[in-house]
Amino acid sequence: MSKQGVTKDYKEEWQAARYMIGGKMFAMQGDDNTNRPIITLKLIPADGDFLRRQYEDIIPGYYMNKEHWNSVYLDGSVPDDIVRDMIDKSYSILFASLTKKAQKEITG
């Protein structure tokens, strides 16, 4: 929530909090079907593939496009700095996909 232009809502039917920028979701936080807490983030495919091979608690996006989205089990062994970096990258990817006008409105 500390990033510029971020809004948050709760999608009842998904039972998940969505973090948005310019109306586009860059993160979703909830639970999987076994009630393990996860956060799902968008990454470029090569980064996501690399991280999945490094950490068993990073999996293809839960109920998302498996190529671009990655879910991290928050009760797992992924270091906090890796999760923060993934959040930063996801935010940057979605911010870059906004129109220049929308970017300027967010940054002032």
Pick from 90, 44, 97, 52: nearest CA to 68: 44
Domain with 43, as residue range(s), is: 6-102
d(CA 99, CA 3) in angstroms, rounded, equals 18
> What confidence score (pLDDT) does residue 81 get?
97
Residue 19 has a pLDDT of: 97
The pTM assigned to this predicted structure is 0.92
Tell whether 107 is covered by a domain: no
Question: Which pLDDT score is estimated for 62?
Answer: 82
What does the pLDDT read at residue 63?
A: 78
Residue 60 lies inside a defined structural domain of this protein:
yes
24-31: strand order across its sheet: 6-11, 16-21, 24-31, 37-42, 69-73, 58-60
**Regions in the chain scoring below 50 on pLDDT:** none
**Residue 57 is assigned to a structural domain of this protein:** yes
Q: How many domains does the chain have?
A: 1
H helices of the chain, in order, are 45-54, 80-97, 100-107
The pLDDT assigned to 108 comes to 85
Does 21 fall in a domain? yes
Report the CATH number that the domain containing residue 86 is assigned in CATH. Answer: 3.90.1150.30
